[in-house]
Amino acid sequence: MPKFVLDGKEIEFKPGQTIIQAAKDHGITIPHFCWHESLSVAGNCRVCLVEIEKMPKLAIACSTTAAEGMVVYTASEKALGARNAVMEFLLINHPLDCPICDEAGECKLQDYAYSHSAGESRFVEEKNHKDKRVPLGPYVMFDGDRCISCSRCIRFCDEIAKDNELTFVKRGDRVTITTFPGEELDNPYSLNVTDICPVGALTNRDFRFRARVWDMSANKTICTGCSRGCNIELWVRNNEILRITPRQNEEVNTFWMCDHGRINTFKFVNAEDRVDGPHIRKEGKLVKVEWNEALTQAASKLKKFAKNEIAFIGSAFATLEDNYLLVKFAHSLGVKNIDFIRHYIPSFADNILRREDMTPNSLGAEAVGVKPSQGGLNIDGIINGIKEKKIKAVYLIDDDIAAAFPELEEELAKLDLLIVNATNINKSASVADIVFPAATYAEKNGTFVNFQGRVQRLKPAVATVEDDRALDGLEMSRLDKFGTKFDRWAQGHKYDAKSSWKILSALSIEMGFKLKFNMAEDVFSEIAKNTKAFSGLDYDVIGELGAQSKLQPEEKIITT
């Protein structure tokens, strides 16, 4: 491979690569605002100017292709002088409102002003003023004053979202960004522009002013919006999720995620209708009871039914571990009626990230055996069985059968026994006889298998009653580290909820057959041992970016 010299260090590059990209591949970051790895090169911020030997002028590292034998200096006197000058120019019209700006703390301009700027402004005239607080679309707010015209957002809409919505208007220091007449920034990926905006010009309307970035902890996990399973970070303060941002994973979502995943997949975790502690129906009402009482009652009631009168419904929203324990539980009882509900919305899919399958783990649920055994009923059979009163007891985890099949709501209420592991009081839970509080995806360890057959790890971000942030390995913000339990910022409500596999495990002990595991990791190692598709995998191998299983990627979606 050809080589060039960067700051006295010889580095290799692929022919055709730019200096900035080659440097990045070797872990050297050349300062930049407008350049982004997966967007086209614009070259308009000028902050990546570097000195190249035998070139008369400084060149921008983002659009200069590296050549054999090139000698590049990023920190020579000339390069530093130019960088300082560019920073001074950029800061001329940039308002000094970091205290108000939401980007403060994760702002590139703020960081570079510290590391690459003289720190003094010679500009004494009145700063330029542009429109502030312009809603560009349903989710994005624009502040013209703060914009440094890097055009990342424009290029994102054109190249990634494939929806030309944004453009520059006016010239010189009056240049600003706006949507085309009659258009809104409403493509399904619009919120990604708030991530790539190097300053606080584009902000998330759902998150604006809710918290400072340094007060939150960022927890690496997986999005549950569809079967893509985008890698994400959950930002948590005081045990409450405040926002979601995408995390880079070249195999799955590169840098992006869709607005549905970012806005709609976390609010139920701290919603008012969360199930807090086990509930039993007494005189027509769901009453909160102790775990022991709920478990004993569930066990004694389940025992009264014949094998073919019971149906188990797994869930593609639940983890591999949850589904695996459900299958084991059903087989221990000799029940053959077991399946899960598919959630397909063909209109949701596109050619970028979104998939028809609105669940994060349908491939995994099938792989661990959530399907009818020989002679058992599948989901349609179970539904008919409920209607014909052949199925008398149903155990449902982490899903809402009454919402998926609205015609079934009355029939479900008439069932002899409906046990539900639910996160929130949904339609099924509100007609159930026994409701166990299930932990949400943000509260448990586990694994999902996305549509590519890639196994990815969920990590808890929100603590339940049985968790301690420090001891259970949850990410800690500054406040988490230094607060005591008497401090008000450490008193965010903890729900009395457990992962479905833990509930099933506890119930199995009441039933008299012991499916005992200590940790989600133990369940997974048993899955890996018993299932060919996952052999050789464990939590360490999966790591933060996931690992490919031997499952065939889902090519075509069967629409029902």
Partner 1 sequence: MAVKKREKDLTLLEKMYIPEIVKGLSLTMKNMFKPKFTMKYPEEKFIPPASYRGRPVLVMEENGEERCVACGLCSRVCPALAIEVQAAETEREKERYPVKFEINMLRCIFCGFCEEVCPEEAIVMSKDYELAFSHREDAIYGKDKLLTPVIQLKDRIEFLRSYK
Q: Which of 142, 143, 33 is nearest to 90 (CA)?
A: 33
The distance of closest approach from Cβ of residue 115 to partner 1 in the complex, given in angstroms and rounded to an integer, is 20
DSSP 376-394: ---HHHHHHHHHTT---EE
Any contact of residue 133 with partner 1 (CB under 8 A)? yes
The distance of closest approach from Cβ of residue 96 to partner 1 in the complex, given in angstroms and rounded to an integer, is 9
Any contact of residue 209 with partner 1 (CB under 8 A)? yes
Q: What are the CA-CA distances from residue 96 to residues 85, 200, 376 (Å)?
A: 18, 12, 68
Any contact of residue 208 with partner 1 (CB under 8 A)? yes
Q: Is the dihedral of CA 270, 499, 285, 410 positive or negative?
A: positive
Cα(527)–Cα(342) distance, rounded to whole angstroms? Answer: 22
Any contact of residue 371 with partner 1 (CB under 8 A)? no
Interface residue with partner 1 among 104, 218, 242, 404 (CB under 8 A) is 104
The distance of closest approach from Cβ of residue 467 to partner 1 in the complex, given in angstroms and rounded to an integer, is 22
What φ, ψ does residue 458 adopt, rounded to 5°?
A: -95, 140
Any contact of residue 487 with partner 1 (CB under 8 A)? yes
DSSP 252-319: TTBT---HHHHHHSSGGGG-TTB--S-EEEETTEEEE--HHHHHHHHHHHHTTS-GGGEEEEE-SSS-
The distance of closest approach from Cβ of residue 195 to partner 1 in the complex, given in angstroms and rounded to an integer, is 21
Applying CB under 8 A, the site for partner 1 has a residue count of 20
Interface residue with partner 1 among 424, 489, 496, 525 (CB under 8 A) is 489
Q: Within 10 Å of residue 262's Cβ, how many Cβ atoms?
A: 27
Q: Judging by beta carbons within 10 Å of its beta carbon (0-12, 13-18, 19+), is residue 351 exposed, middle or buried? A: exposed
The distance of closest approach from Cβ of residue 494 to partner 1 in the complex, given in angstroms and rounded to an integer, is 19
- Residue 78's identity, in one-letter code, is K
Interface residue with partner 1 among 482, 493, 536, 553 (CB under 8 A) is 482
- Contact stretch for partner 1 (CB under 8 A) within 144-152, 211-219, 534-542, 545-553: 211-219
* Cβ-based nearer residue to partner 1, 133 or 532: 133
* Cβ-based nearer residue to partner 1, 277 or 483: 483
Any contact of residue 129 with partner 1 (CB under 8 A)? no
Any contact of residue 98 with partner 1 (CB under 8 A)? yes
Any contact of residue 242 with partner 1 (CB under 8 A)? no
Any contact of residue 214 with partner 1 (CB under 8 A)? yes
* Cβ-based nearer residue to partner 1, 208 or 304: 208
> What stretches of 107-240 show up as alpha helix (H) in DSSP?
108-115, 152-155, 192-196
List residues binding partner 1 (CB under 8 A).
97-100, 104, 132-133, 208-212, 214-215, 479, 482-483, 487-489
